Amino acid sequence: MLWTGIVALSLTVRGDVPFAETRHVEDAHIVRRWGVEDGLPEGAVTALARFPDGFIWLTTPR
């Protein structure tokens, strides 16, 4: 119990986690917005799933 407290305190005091890694990722994402005018039945999406073949499935309340 004492050992756990010492480890927790040392992580808090250091301010970082020894095994954390910082990586820079290129901002190469494509963002598209779909709405009712694009064929979405209504504005709310209740779930999202991406399949290995690349298709993205959306569910709506209607």
Judge if pTM exceeds 0.75.
no
When comparing pLDDT for 22 and 44, which is higher? 44
| Lowest-confidence segment of 15-19, 29-33, 34-38, 51-55 by average pLDDT | 15-19
**pLDDT in the model for residue 40:** 80
Q: Are 18 and 35 in contact (CB under 8 A)?
A: no
Report domain extents, the chain: 2-59
**pLDDT in the model for residue 21:** 58
**pLDDT in the model for residue 4:** 52
